[in-house]
Amino acid sequence: MSALTSPPTSSGPGEKISRRRPWRAKAAGVLAAALAVTTAVATPAPAADNPYERGPAPTTASIEASRGSFATSTTTVSRLAVSGFGGGTIYYPTSTAAGTFGAISIAPGFTATQSSMAWLGPRLASQGFVVFTIDTLTTSDQPDSRGRQLLASLDYLTQQSSVRSRIDSSRLGVVGHSMGGGGTLEAARSRPSLQAAVPLTGWNLTKSWSTVQVPTLVVGAEADTVAPVATHSIPFYTSLPSSLDKAYLELRGASHFAPNSSNTTIAKYTLSWLKRFVDNDTRYEQFLCPIPGTSLSISDYRGTCPHNG
């Protein structure tokens, strides 16, 4: 027999050990590999870094689209069925397979009704939010009143509405136009637990918002003669704490009423802001930081980057 096939010699125990060691090592390696495979199969996949992410990874095309990936439905809320605000329309994703959603209330401006902001409801809802476009108690309500009404509508959404089971009540935001934009700032100051605020061409006699703790995107319009940016949106933005996640977007050549009709620039940055802070979805950070440059649609953009939230 050759040396490779002959049994170990009996010249001493040390030699027997040394000649068996390769076989033992091989067996141990096979066992270790088997255990590794078993462990890999038995161990569940790690949870997503952010359990609040909703929808596919965003692209420029997806945030500019008029509709997102979620099918939506609507329900009308009569002003007679609520207190503290004037009713409205709820837009919501029809499926909760992905989980619950953050919720956004949107207030109209002076003399306007919810219809003036209706275009934004399904646009945001189809991206994975429950959205409530509200009517105010009267069309002449001032910003402080509109702020209270925004908060009342969020309370209704999360506590009484027919879609309350679809909502994560810890993830709420507010949006508003004109006096509704001023109301958005009022709501943010009153309720620091909100996750995001977006005043659109906001109007408010109060210019200092140094106590606001809610991440805020201020949207102004370059040609606004009702709430000129020099006396409204820019002071609003600059008065917000420097430590706050905040941004100022100015729409090039736009009037005060730009938010009252479908506007891709408003939609894409409002969506990105809400996703980033209501859903804590850092996949949308790329659209906010680095700070966007000026363009055919943006005359000015300022912000704090990178974001802390």
Is 15 a residue whose pLDDT tops 80? no
Using pLDDT thresholds of 50, 70 and 90, give the confidence band for residue 22.
very low
Catalytic residue among 256, 279, 281, 299: 256
Is 14 a residue whose pLDDT tops 60? no
Catalytic residue among 135, 144, 224, 245: 224
The confidence score (pLDDT) of residue 303 equals 97
CA angle 229, 287, 207 (to 5 degrees): 25
Indicate the range of 7-16, 69-78, 92-101, 261-270 predicted with least confidence: 7-16
Catalytic residue among 126, 153, 161, 178: 178
The confidence score (pLDDT) of residue 296 equals 97
| Strand (E) or helix (H) holding 284 | none
Is 16 a residue whose pLDDT tops 60? no
Catalytic, 224? Answer: yes
Provide, rounded to the nearest whole percent, the portion of the chain with pLDDT above 90.
82
The confidence score (pLDDT) of residue 48 equals 53
**What is the SS3 assignment for 195?**
coil
* Average pLDDT of the segment spanning 149-176: 98
CA angle 89, 147, 117 (to 5 degrees): 35
Catalytic, 233? Answer: no
Most confident of 12-16, 29-33, 279-283: 279-283
Using pLDDT thresholds of 50, 70 and 90, give the confidence band for residue 44.
very low
The confidence score (pLDDT) of residue 9 equals 38
Provide, rounded to the nearest whole percent, the portion of the chain with pLDDT above 70.
84
Q: What pTM was computed for the model? A: 0.84
Q: Choose between 10 and 304: higher pLDDT.
A: 304
The confidence score (pLDDT) of residue 49 equals 74
Using pLDDT thresholds of 50, 70 and 90, give the confidence band for residue 199.
very high
Separation between Cα atoms, residue 195 and residue 309, nearest integer Å: 9
Q: Choose between 110 and 44: higher pLDDT.
A: 110
* Average pLDDT of the segment spanning 244-256: 98
Separation between Cα atoms, residue 184 and residue 199, nearest integer Å: 6
Q: Choose between 15 and 308: higher pLDDT.
A: 308
Using pLDDT thresholds of 50, 70 and 90, give the confidence band for residue 51.
confident
Cis peptide, bond prior to residue 290, ω within 30 of zero: yes
Beta bridge partners of 196: 173
Is 30 a residue whose pLDDT tops 60? no
| Strand (E) or helix (H) holding 89 | strand 88-93
Catalytic, 256? Answer: yes
The confidence score (pLDDT) of residue 232 equals 98
